[in-house]
Amino acid sequence: MKQVFHFYADPGHGWLAVKKHYLHCFGIASQITPYSYQRGDTAYLEEDCDLSIFLAALKEADIEADIRSHHTDRQSRIRGYNSYRCQDTGMCKIEKVSEGLWLVRNEKNERIGEVFGIKGKFQAQTMTGVFVANGRTLCLAAKLLDSAQYHVVAIVHDPRTNEGMKDVPTMGYYNESRDIALIQARRWANDGYWTTVYNTVSGEALYDFPPYGGVQ
């Protein structure tokens, strides 16, 4: 997929404006030098070195850069911004394992899941193989692994009596939106499963749906 970025240049140099979350998600935030600048949540990557690092990371993530250029004959105001300094934002980090496969770690460097995909179609799942969500970009799919708050579980037996238990694998789904989690739970219930929606932060079971029925 294509992503638009803006390149600003004056008579002496040029910089690509990039949101900092890209740098952290791609695991290159610490590689960017103080010769680049920053303002708010945007980094301005200088063209000689830092820009090449970022473009290489984009290529690995199967994102095509659509760069829009802007030039001024005067000295750019970017030169007056603060020099770039890497700060730990607590965001997840991504490591490429092989073609189409990335490992995702949280701010504690713990493995929290994997992302599979190419060309704008990325699927995230936990380390135990539970599907989380699809993302249009590698970064978005990885972020869902780190931020999903609601976990939907579907089973083929009554969780209170174990009636109908036949060793069928449990299905799971994670999402950061409660409404989307509830939609998925109702879909599985309509298909004949017992479904429960959990808050992953508190561990509390919020909703219980019996097969073909309403909320318990």
Query: Does residue 44 surpass a pLDDT of 90?
Result: yes
Angle (CA) 150 115 31, round 5°: 110
pLDDT 10s digits, 110-159: 787 888 877 667 777 777 666 666 666 677 677 666 666 677 777 766 55
Q: Taking residues 15-37, report their average pLDDT.
A: 86
Query: Does residue 160 surpass a pLDDT of 60?
Result: no
pLDDT in the model for residue 36: 96
Quote the CA–CA distance of 129 and 140 in Å, as a whole number.
18
Q: SS3 of 184, please?
A: helix
Higher pLDDT, 149 or 48: 48
Q: What percent of the chain has pLDDT over 70?
A: 74
pLDDT in the model for residue 216: 47
pLDDT in the model for residue 185: 85
Nearest to 3 by CA among 83, 62, 75: 62
Tokens of 79: 């030169």
Q: Which of 53-62, 96-105, 133-142, 179-188 has the lowest mean pLDDT?
A: 133-142
Q: SS3 of 24, please?
A: helix
Q: Taking residues 15-21, report their average pLDDT.
A: 91
Q: Which of 27-36, 47-56, 129-138 has the lowest mean pLDDT?
A: 129-138
Neighbour count for residue 65 (Cβ, 10 Å)? 16
pLDDT in the model for residue 195: 86
Which residues make Cβ contacts (< 8 Å) with residue 214, sequence separation at least 6? none
Higher pLDDT, 143 or 8: 8
Burial group, residue 167, by CB count within 10 angstroms (0-12, 13-18, 19+): exposed
Contact status, residue 154 vs residue 194, Cβ threshold 8 Å: yes
Computed over every residue of the chain, the mean pLDDT equals 79
* DSSP assignment of 79-117: GGSEEP--------EEEEEETTEEEEE-TTS-EEEEEEE
- Relative to beta strand 2-9, strand 64-71 is parallel
The owner of tokens 């984009």 is: 58
Which pTM was predicted? 0.51
